[in-house]
Structure 1
Amino acid sequence: MTETNGTNGTKAANGETTPSKVDVSIALKANDAAAVPDLLQEISSLGENFDSNDDQARIKLAMKARSLWKSLETPRETMIRHLWAEPSVMCALTAGYDKGLWAYLAEREGRLLRHISSMGYLKEVGANTYELTNFTRSMSIPVIGAGYPCIAGACVNALGQFHEYANLKGWKDPTDVYDSPLQHGYKTKLNFFEHLHNNPPYGQQFHHHMGGYRQGRPSWMDAGFFPVEERLIKGFKEAEDTTLLVDIGGSFGHDLTEFRTKFSDVPGRLILQDLPVVIEQIQKLDDKIETMKYDFFTEQPIKAMKPGYSKLLINENVIPETGAQWEATALDIMMLTLLASRERTRENWDSLLGKAGLKIVNVWTVANGVESLIECELS
């Protein structure tokens, strides 16, 4: 075995380092300096008539700004950001939320605040004096802040030790929710949801986090997304105990509550299904919404599918073959490591649903990176 000084080499799975043919000086140069002039021009053009109320314009400008930043950053700086800065700021933000009082943290834990400030999440206005930004102000809201201790405490080991799991399994995609990077990282036999709810308060924090994830994102019930009146309500045959909607794995009832708000006079039963431990945590829900304890890994108790009439609506990502958006690709990695699953392309969805005797009638999409509504019927 040939030893190297570690400056210019890669380490194999067995721990041995092999020399790299890439000179280390490349890590000290901008990632893509050639792209900078065009990016500056595009950012300037997008900024000329920027409308802060146009969300798609905001996202487009943010993506260009992100590209500029990453083009200017050196590989060495990217490495330090990934391995030092981002884990450290995750640590500091999580501690701040867990403490519950940013003012207390300002007085007692200046080291954490200094790093949070250096990462751009607080404004430093003097020695040991910081001013909240919209982000750190929002950290006091459970749907924003609660995800930090949940991910840090109950999920991050699955991502951090994924490479170990993949080496053990020969780099094959996991398909068993009881044999995934999560079980390897946390030395548990529980699946993801069992793992969360058996380690409180992570289960409740996760449901807050999912509520935060949905904030500001287009809803499938919005005008211009899925034609609810035409495709769902029109032709509904009302009878005693007829079910209109069953929300499977619906958490605390966010979707059905929204549906009741937007379509308050619609007849039919609205049923919210989730694990017993989730249903038992619900404190307030519209009287029209029924709750049902149910594990979606078991057979569905509501038998309501009729060919040519009933629909399965799947509010999920449909990953494009090219140009996938970063939120969707990040979620795909979370699905890989936590649930032995994946975010799917149209081809993946056709294959999966076809095996279940279903066909896709239409895929309703309003923007890249936002969940589509996949409308299905029995074949």
Structure 2
Amino acid sequence: MSQELDLSLATRPNNTAAVPAILDEFNSLYSTLETGGEATRHALVLKARSLLHALQSPREQMIQHTWADPGLNAAIITGVDVGLFKLMVKNGVDTPQKVSNLAGPLGVDPVLLGRLMRHICAMGHLVETGPDEYKPTNFSKSLSLDVISAGYSALLGGIGRSPIEFNKFLRDTNYQNPVDAAHTAMHSAYNTDLPNCFEYLRSVGLGPQTNNHMGGYRQGRLPWSHPEIYPVAETLFAGADPSPDAPLVVDVAGGLGHDINEFKALYPNHPGKLILQDLPVVINDVKGIDPSIELMSHDFLTEQPVKGARAYFMHSILHDWPDDVCTQILSRLADAMKPGYSKLLIFECVIARTGAHWEATAGDILMMTQLSALERTEDHWHKLIEGSGLNLKITKFWKCARPDVENVIECELA
């Protein structure tokens, strides 16, 4: 027999009984923040979220999800688009600024700008210093940086309808798990026949913002080559061909070169040479990386031109594709690898079987709604790499203590 819920449940706090224990745990964690570093800070963020959820009512959560958060996104995307946050930083990061003084240089109706900034403030991202007068927080200051603001322009402004209309896509596909890269919720939401969301974003002029976001979302994370994650000297340098022309690391689809440039900075005296590969439209935008890094145009679905490298590296590439396309990508790399010498290093999220981290699950939904792709569990990685007839094997998952940092999945020829 079904049971009807009393509507009053939606207007009461979710779990006030849990508050004392959450506060005790929060205070205990906070006392170790200086020594615990980023891992402790991440744990504190989760506890703070638990506290908020315990105190909020379901009704308040519903209003936040359906009114406040979409409204905030609309305000931030517009602010990024017109240059609001860059102007505020230019005017002085700690200077109170009036809406009327900002509206003119931005070319925005002051009434409109005031309404947008009022909501950004109400959501905690500006500090109110008077009527229609604000100064930025650290977050809104950071929106003046392209690598931070670009995600709002690209993911929300460019392809934000895909997750919102995902239910319609699922309705039309009988609620099947999406696995077709040529038929995604993005294709449906934007009525496009372009190959994927990256091509679509480039077609609407958001290619640079997409590239910036690729560099922005990984800010603050340890690079794959950091000794806390992967022992580069022991696993790559030892036994490597010392010839200056011998390829040491090929960064496949490496975007604007953030990873390979960090590698160069960490290991300036590395043996061999470093190579950055991506599509011509991306390689043409590469700027400011070490000049010794070779730039090479390459499509990873075609034959890998660099044979026998010590390591082929991919960061957050395979999560963009369902298994059938990943198998094609991996086969090209396996064909280029030298038995007993070459390694394939995949730096990707590995979703925990239980207690999955929110960035991992968010990434999984993002991949599903935009690309019919996914973030993978350890079991799924074994199935993809070792169960697809690729002659590859996983030798180790190199893990970081921080839950938001990807694993290095080290592979060799079987």
Same fold judged by TM-score > 0.5?
Answer: yes
Of residues 394, 407, 410, the one that matches 1:360 is 394
For residues 138-160 of structure 1, the C-alpha deviation after alignment (integer angstroms, 9 at most, x for no partner) is 11011111211111222211111
More off after superposition, 54-63 vs 127-136: 54-63
Of residues 138, 141, 145, the one that matches 2:142 is 138
1:295 match: secondary structure: coil
| 1:337 partnered with 2:369 | yes
Task: Check conservation: 1:360, 1:377, Cα contact below 8 A.
Answer: yes
2:351 match: secondary structure: coil
Give the alignment's Cα RMSD to 1 decimal: 1.8
Distance 2:117 2:411 in 1: 49
For residues 206-235 of structure 1, the C-alpha deviation after alignment (integer angstroms, 9 at most, x for no partner) is 111121111110111112210000001110
Instruction: Give the match for residue 376 of structure 1.
Output: 411
More off after superposition, 286-295 vs 203-212: 286-295
Distance 2:280 2:5 in 1: 55
Change over 3 Å in CA distance of 1:20–1:293 after alignment to 2? farther
TM-score scaled to structure 1, two decimals? 0.91
Of residues 53, 65, 86, the one that matches 1:70 is 53
* Aligned pairs, number: 360
* Amino acid across the alignment from 1:343: E
Of residues 63, 73, 77, the one that matches 1:94 is 77
Distance 1:180 1:91 in 2: 24
Distance 1:298 1:20 in 2: 58
Distance 2:344 2:144 in 1: 37
* Amino acid across the alignment from 1:177: A
Instruction: Give the match for residue 38 of structure 2.
Output: 55
- Residue 299 of structure 1, CA deviation: 3.5
| 1:185-200 → structure 2 map (5 Å cutoff) | 185-190=189-194, 191-200=196-205
- Which segments of 5 or more consecutive residues in structure 1 lack a partner in the other structure? 1-18
Change over 3 Å in CA distance of 1:38–1:240 after alignment to 2? closer
- Which segments of 5 or more consecutive residues in structure 2 lack a partner in the other structure? 89-97, 101-109, 309-336
| 1:159 partnered with 2:170 | no
Distance 1:25 1:32 in 2: 14
Task: Check conservation: 1:89, 1:119, Cα contact below 8 A.
Answer: yes
Instruction: Give the match for residue 171 of structure 1.
Output: 175
Task: Check conservation: 1:52, 1:58, Cα contact below 8 A.
Answer: no
| 1:292 partnered with 2:296 | yes
Of residues 245, 267, 270, the one that matches 1:266 is 270
What percent of counterpart residues are identical?
44
- Residue 179 of structure 1, CA deviation: 0.6
- Residue 32 of structure 1, CA deviation: 2.0
- Residue 194 of structure 1, CA deviation: 1.1
Distance 2:36 2:124 in 1: 23
Task: Check conservation: 2:77, 2:157, Cα contact below 8 A.
Answer: no
Instruction: Give the match for residue 319 of structure 2.
Output: none
Instruction: Give the match for residue 32 of structure 1.
Output: 15
Task: Check conservation: 1:324, 1:369, Cα contact below 8 A.
Answer: no
Distance 1:106 1:47 in 2: 38
For residues 90-140 of structure 1, the C-alpha deviation after alignment (integer angstroms, 9 at most, x for no partner) is 111111111113457933211111100100011112111112110111110
* Amino acid across the alignment from 1:193: F
TM-score scaled to structure 2, two decimals? 0.83
